[in-house]
Structure 1
Amino acid sequence: MSIKETTASVDPVLPVLYEDNHLLAVVKPPGVLSQADDTGEPDMVTLLKQDLKVRYNKPGNVYVGLVHRLDRPVGGAMLFAKTSKAASRLSESVRSRAFDKTYVAVVHGNPPQTTGRLKHFLRKDSSRNIVSVHSKQVNESKEAILDYAVVANRQSHSLVAVRLLTGRPHQIRAQMADVGCPLVFDRKYGAPASDGERDIALWSAAIGVAHPVTKDWLAFHSLPPQTEPWKQWSDEELRRALTILPEHEHA
């Protein structure tokens, strides 16, 4: 497994984890959209297109393909394609579950087990931008599966590593809340009120995928910033969250 460290920067808030002619891995800041919507607010695809155009002095259009999404309040490692062929192959990796996505979260309380798998069916209410959790298939619901492991406990909070086996909107937020452990600062899914507006305690910590051309396995890591609630955990604990779950099986 090759580990890619942060080496360059698109701008002060978009560190580049890895880049070649086919793909680009960066750190998405919390609060930035993954792709453009009706609000016209900044989004990752547009920001990266602008950056590539400037950095490489490209006169025409720049291609940036969205491979996967992060919820707007979530920050961390995110992967984009730089060619349509790479986008197609990386998207197939996502569909076939050969795309490894590991998150770190701080939740209220203690999950039901130290390690476990959560299986639910999620139904999205687009008008309210919220999903409901169901134990059985219901109309317009989609299966949601994740594995988790508790890294450490601190008072009433737990540091949890999560690996997504499916990629549903608000999946981690909704499923953890359903087992009585809402994410810290995630008011939408039942977290207690806090002073001021805070980013929810969820971070995209690692991505693993086969390179779309060379087929070499690549891994990109990003640790959350030393702000609340992350700063109550040591660097050792945060790094342990990257490795506590069994390694993703890949060719």
Structure 2
Amino acid sequence: MQDENTTDNEEQDDELYEHYNFTAGKGQEPLRVDKFLMNFVEKATRNKIQKAAKNGNIQVNGEVVKQNYKVKANDVVRVLFEHPPYEFLLVPENIPIDIVYEDDALLVVNKPPGMVVHPGHGNYSGTLINALTYHFENLPENSSGRPGLVHRIDKDTSGLLVVAKTDDAMTHLAKQFFNKTSEREYVALVWGNVENDSGTIEGNIARHPKNRMQNIVFEESDHGKEAVTHYKVLERFGYVTMVSCKLETGRTHQIRVHMKYIGHTLFNDERYGGDAVLKGTTFTKYKQFVDNCFKVLPRQALHAKTLGFEHPVSGEWKSFDSEIPEDMQACFEKWRNYAKHQQM
């Protein structure tokens, strides 16, 4: 059973930390990756390397490999572990925070795109947690030891997060997310013309068996965790659609995985293949137009727009709304103008 003091939020990154990243030299003779790493990783043990390989945490050129893979010249070898590297320290940093609301129990922040929520994957500074620990003392830790963090969103997703300032607030808020009584609405731009004006996507989500950086939908009920997303079309642009997504559950990459599952990958979502032309014409001018949209919005088109929960002290229902960021608005406007010209 999931711990009530943690939330497996829709956009969290995998709970893995990058320890080592090597590029094999030009003169590298073919060598098993486990032996290769034994030569390069300080204080490495064979068991530790083999365990990492068994768990799918050794990658070569972005693909998961087994321990008998033979490293060749110019291969990029990456090793991930499920705990921070020994040199990891949480250092408070004077980074501005966009605070939407604050009282003695909690604060609601509007996270900009590009900011990592918590340290990991080689991002050990510049995160929201680094900023929070600078501006606020004695924040309560969740069960993963992260100060103030009730839930998370991905680095390239913008939007609202609630942060606990007391132990009681942490417990109360985390329980609401666990019991699915909080409310979260995201706005996204997806590839394709979504057929129905509204709908519900159901499908268990688990880590991809071959690509540890992705999650996928498993239709069998004995695989993965239950996930439910309710969507509604906000505006149609022909080859792309603006949608609202409300989460009934909060799984890793839930919206990104579910929308891809029904054939509507998020626009410019590099991890899930949305950074290519998936719908539209083969005309060069169209491709240039899409490339310009990618430049205007250099991330997946996803924003955590609204957030609602019961206040842990007063019991009052609190609702918050945030503006769609300028990069997403600019991209919407480009597609809106393109759709108008197509209709003429």
- Is 1:219 aligned to residue 302 of structure 2? no
The aligned amino acid for 1:142 is: K
Please give the TM-score of this superposition, normalised by the length of structure 2.
0.59
2:47 counterpart residue number: none
2:214 counterpart residue number: 130
Match among 98, 101, 104 for residue 181 of structure 2: 98
Contact 1:112 1:179 in 2 (8 A): no
CA distance in 2, matches of 1:150, 1:125: 28
Q: Which has the higher helix share?
A: 2
- Is 1:230 aligned to residue 329 of structure 2? yes
Give the C-alpha shift of residue 13 in structure 1.
5.6
- List alignment gaps of at least 5 residues for structure 1: 1-10, 54-60, 238-251
- Is 1:171 aligned to residue 270 of structure 2? no
Q: Secondary structure at the match of 1:65?
A: coil
Written as runs of structure 1 = structure 2, the 5 A alignment for 1:82-93 is: 82-93=165-176
CA distance in 2, matches of 1:37, 1:12: 18
2:118 counterpart residue number: 35
CA distance in 2, matches of 1:168, 1:66: 16
- Is 1:198 aligned to residue 306 of structure 2? no
Q: Secondary structure at the match of 1:41?
A: coil
1:143 counterpart residue number: 226
1:58 counterpart residue number: none
1:4 counterpart residue number: none
The aligned amino acid for 1:231 is: A
**Cα pair distance change 1:233/1:117, threshold 3 Å:** same
CA distance in 2, matches of 1:145, 1:31: 26
CA distance in 1, matches of 2:220, 2:163: 34
CA offsets, 1:88-133, max 9 Å, x none?
A: 0000000111110110001111223110110001111496221011
- Is 1:210 aligned to residue 293 of structure 2? no
Structure with more relative contact order (C-alpha pairs < 8 Å, separation 6 or more): 1
Q: Which has the higher strand share?
A: 1
CA distance in 2, matches of 1:49, 1:133: 36
CA distance in 2, matches of 1:112, 1:214: 43
- Is 1:189 aligned to residue 272 of structure 2? yes
Give the C-alpha shift of residue 203 in structure 1.
0.3
CA distance in 2, matches of 1:35, 1:77: 15
CA offsets, 1:45-84, max 9 Å, x none?
A: 221121235xxxxxxx444421111012211011100001
Match among 114, 126, 134 for residue 50 of structure 1: 134
Amino-acid identity (%):
30
Please give the TM-score of this superposition, normalised by the length of structure 1.
0.79
CA distance in 1, matches of 2:256, 2:139: 34
Q: Which has the larger radius of gyration?
A: 2
Written as runs of structure 1 = structure 2, the 5 A alignment for 1:112-123 is: 112-123=195-206
Give the C-alpha shift of residue 176 in structure 1.
0.3
CA offsets, 1:198-244, max 9 Å, x none?
A: 111000000000000101000111122122x432547xx9xxxxxxx
2:237 counterpart residue number: 154
Contact 1:13 1:29 in 2 (8 A): no
Give the C-alpha shift of residue 38 in structure 1.
5.1
Contact 1:106 1:160 in 2 (8 A): yes
**Cα pair distance change 1:134/1:48, threshold 3 Å:** same
1:246 counterpart residue number: none
CA distance in 2, matches of 1:168, 1:161: 17
CA distance in 2, matches of 1:226, 1:71: 18
